[in-house]
Every structure is written in C-alpha cells, then in structure tokens.
Amino acid sequence: MGAKKMAPVSSERQRWDRTYNNLVYLLRTQQIHLETLLKERNLLERRIKTQHEWWASVVRAAEDQIFQMKCDMAIEDGVRSLQAAKSDLLAGSAQGETARLKLMLDYAENELAEDHKNYLDALHQKTSQSKDLSERDSTRSSKKKGFEAGEGVVIVDTHSDVLKSEIQLLGAENEKLSLKKTAEVSGLLLEKDFVCHQLKTLESDYADKLRRKADEVDKANEKITNLVARMEELQSTNSEKDKTIKALESEIAKMEADAGAQRNELSRVNKELETFRKSRDAAATLSLRPRSPESSRPPPRSKNNDKSRSGIQVKKEQFHPKESNHASRSEKGSRGIKRETTDVNTIPGTPKLFSSSFKAPKLKHPSPSIYRT
C-alpha cells in the first residue's frame, strides 16, 4: 500500500520540481535582462550627457568667436575713421595750398599788368615831353633866321637820339620784367600741376583703401551671418536633443512603472512559491505517516489551497499496480518507502531565488526569452 501511495506523490513532486525549475530559469533570465537594460540605460544617459556637453562647448566657442569678430570689426572701424580723417586733413591742406598758389598767381598777374601799365604811362609821358620839347625847338628855330637855322637842326637831332636811347632802355627793362614774371607764372603753374597730381594720387590711394576696407567689412558681415545661421542651427539641434531627452525621460518613467509592476509580480510569484513549498512539505509529511486504509486516501483539496496556487493546476497520475505482484513486492515496497522517506528528508528546502534585500532593476520591455518553458 505504501508503494501505491508514494508513486503518485513522487510523480507529482517531479512535475512540481520541473515547474519550479522553469520558474527559477524564468526569473534568472528576467533578472539578466533587467541588468542588461539597466546597463544600457546608464550608457544612454552618459552618452546624452556627453553629447549635451559637446553641444554646449560648441555654442560657447561660436559665441566667443562672434564676440572676437565684433571686437575686430570695432577696431577696424576706428582705424577706417582715423584714415578717413587723415585723408580729409590732407585733402584740406592740399586744397589750401592750391588756393594759396592761385592767389599768388593772381597777384603776380595783377602786378605784371600794373607794371606794364606804369611802363606805358611813363613811355607816353616821356613821348609827350619829347614832343613838347620838339615843338619848342621848332618855335625857337622859326624865330631865329639865317645863321641860327643850322644850329637848331643839330639840337633836334640830339634830342631825338636821346629819346630813342631811352625808349630802347625801357623796352629792354620791360622785356626783362616780362621774362621774370613769365618765369614766376610758369613755376607757379608747374607747382600747381604737381600739387594737383599729388592730390589725385592721394585720392586714388584712399579710394582703393576704402574699397578694400568695404570688401573686408562685407566678408566679415558674411562670416557673421554664417555664424549666426550656424548658431540658429545649433540651437534648433539642441531643442531637438532636449525633446529627445524629454522623450527618453518619459520612457524611463514608463520603464520604472513597468519595473514596479514586475517587482509586484515577482513578490506575488515568490508568495505563491512559498505557499506551494509549504503545502508540498505538508503533503510529503502526511504521506510518510502510517495510514489506515481509510486514511490512505488522498486528502481532499480545500478551496483556500486552490486559490493560493493562483491557477496552477497539476494533474495527478493514478498508479494501478497489478494485484498479483502486490504480495511479492510488499517487502520491496516497504524498502522503497524507506528510501523515499530518506530522499525526502535529505532534500534541502526550496532554495530562495533572491535575498530579502534584493531589488529588481527597472524594466521597459520584457525580453522574448522570458517566455521560454
């Protein structure tokens, strides 16, 4: 009778051991998956933090470059304003020199005209005086007669020679004065042409400098525009990264909620396993006690025991030995009962999967390998 009762208990124990081993494998696999997810989460957080720091450094470098370019442009503007003031000063001095030379030329021309007029007036006065003298001489000659006629002709010839020599002297002096004034005027004109040429050269040089500075300003403005566009692009990228970080944070919160649900599920499974272990130990203890034919029947399962197992159903196999072998194997059955009792007593308690301080890591999605049987 003992062999008949222990065989169903042994087969049931094997089924529960297989179920228990499967649950242990499931929980260990789930634990490995949770640890992998935790490592991936930490790696993702470090990567996001590193990328955010890199973008922040890029933005700071761009801002420093823009500030440096603005300072350089301010310095260049000051230099350009100084050069423009210098060119204006030089142009003003050149214009003043030109006006001075023009005044000197006008003064020389006026002086030359006045000298020429004075010379003509003096010549006219001397001519009129010589004419008066000639008229007086002619009058005197008409009063004298005969012997005085030859002497009057000699006096008129002498006065005409003196006038001719004076006219020649005045003409030579006028020519010398004209040559001198002409030389002064030509020198002033040459100096004026030189000053005008220098002024035009300075104007062309400053125009070229202003053109080059304008080109540099345009290039600097273009660089600033490109940098501003780059900064806007970086800001948009940072906003996208912030959105991604927020989405990841929401996913992490969801993973934490899922992990909480998994922890609750694990605690529930541990409670069920503990209940199952206690019921199994109680069943094994009852099976080892000597029973009467009436008490050899399996105890009826209570409703509370069925509920504690939370839907885990195990079919008991029925063992039907032949009656002819019952008498011959009674002694072997009793020995088997003793061996079963020894095996049951030597089997240690059900190993605990985790310690009391174990905390399940956060989980977002369960691994497909969890559902292996």
Q: Which residues of 127-153 are buried (b: 16+ CB within 10 A; e: fewer)?
A: eeebeebeeebeeebeeeeeeeeeebe
Amino acid symbol at 176: K
Neighbouring CB atoms inside 10 A of 259's CB total: 19
What's the rounded Cα separation, in Å, for the pair 337 and 5? 9
What's the rounded Cα separation, in Å, for the pair 162 and 158? 6
Q: In the chain, where are the structural domains located?
A: 13-127+168-283
Helix/strand/coil percentages in the chain, nearest 5: 85, 0, 15
Per-residue pLDDT of the chain (373 residues; tens, 9 = 90+): 444 445 556 788 888 888 889 988 988 998 898 899 889 888 988 988 898 899 888 888 888 888 888 888 888 888 888 888 888 888 888 788 888 888 888 887 888 778 778 877 877 777 777 667 666 666 666 555 544 444 444 444 566 677 777 777 777 877 887 788 788 888 888 887 888 888 888 888 878 888 888 888 888 888 888 888 888 888 888 788 888 888 888 888 888 888 888 888 888 888 888 888 888 878 777 766 555 544 445 544 444 444 444 443 434 333 344 333 443 444 444 444 444 444 444 444 444 444 555 555 554 444 444 444 3
The distance from CA 101 to its chain's CA centroid, rounded to whole angstroms, is 61
Q: Show the tokens assigned to 193.
A: 């042409």
Helix 2-143 to helix 330-346 angle (10° resolution) is 30
Note the pTM of the prediction, 2 decimals: 0.33
The distance from CA 199 to its chain's CA centroid, rounded to whole angstroms, is 48
- DSSP-derived letter for residue 32 is H
Tokens 């922890």 sit on residue: 263
